Amino acid sequence: MEMARVTLGMICRSQPALVAALVLGAVLGAGGCGNPLCPGDMRIDAQRSRPGQTAFCVNPTDSSRAAFVDLHPNGARRQVCPFSAGKPSGVYQAFHPGGERWLEGRYENGLKVGRWTQWAPDGRKVADGEYREGLTVEGAPVGFPATCESVTW
């Protein structure tokens, strides 16, 4: 596995081979050039994941915790949906195709809650909104692109 990481790093330095690197990265559990797909201590569930499209991530020591990672066509992470006990729960993150932060919010017991914020690719905050029990109660409905509640764990 270590040899594969070195090879991936070398490929990522070469622009003509970038697409190959992204495909290889998805297979190895990396989004883009060596960035891990799965959060923290989680590992890819190879049986449920679709290389280059989605990753189902499981916690090897806590089966109640998991994450779903949706990918952009370029292989970079599009959204990371945290799960607890089979429902979206925790900090949600979404990214622009170049890897810049796009959306951030929180799920509790399968519903959007609290402050959700949206950023432009240049890092400017463009909107935010407040959610309670899955509904927008103030500001902009910036959480609409988040699709964690449609994922069956």
Is the domain of 54 the same as that of 99? yes
Is the domain of 43 the same as that of 57? yes
- For residue 36, what pLDDT is reported? 79
Is the domain of 28 the same as that of 46? no
* Structural domain range at position 62: 38-150
Place 8 in a pLDDT band, splitting at 50, 70 and 90: very low
Is the domain of 62 the same as that of 106? yes
Place 153 in a pLDDT band, splitting at 50, 70 and 90: confident
Residue 81 has pLDDT above 80, yes or no: yes
Closest C-alpha among 69, 79, 51, 93 to residue 153? 69
Is the domain of 4 the same as that of 73? no
Is the domain of 29 the same as that of 84? no
- For residue 4, what pLDDT is reported? 33
Averaged pLDDT, 10-18: 36
Is the domain of 139 the same as that of 78? yes
The stretches of the chain forming alpha helices (DSSP H) are 2-12, 18-28
In the structure encoding, which two tokens stand for residue 99, read together?
Answer: 């890897």
pLDDT in tens, 85-136: 999 999 999 999 999 999 999 999 999 999 999 999 999 999 999 999 999 9
- For residue 110, what pLDDT is reported? 94
Is the domain of 31 the same as that of 42? no
d(CA 1, CA 7): 10
SS3 at position 47? coil
Is the domain of 68 the same as that of 82? yes
Domain count along the chain:
2
Is the domain of 76 the same as that of 90? yes
Amino acid residing at 110: G
| Bridge partners (DSSP) listed for residue 71 | 77
Is the domain of 79 the same as that of 113? yes
- For residue 34, what pLDDT is reported? 52
Is the domain of 67 the same as that of 3? no
- For residue 27, what pLDDT is reported? 40
Place of tokens 């890897």: 99
Q: Which long-range contacts (CB under 8 A, 24 or more apart) does 44-51 make?
A: 51/23, 51/26, 51/27
pLDDT in tens, 23-79: 334 444 455 455 678 988 899 999 999 999 999 999 999 999 999 999 999 999 999
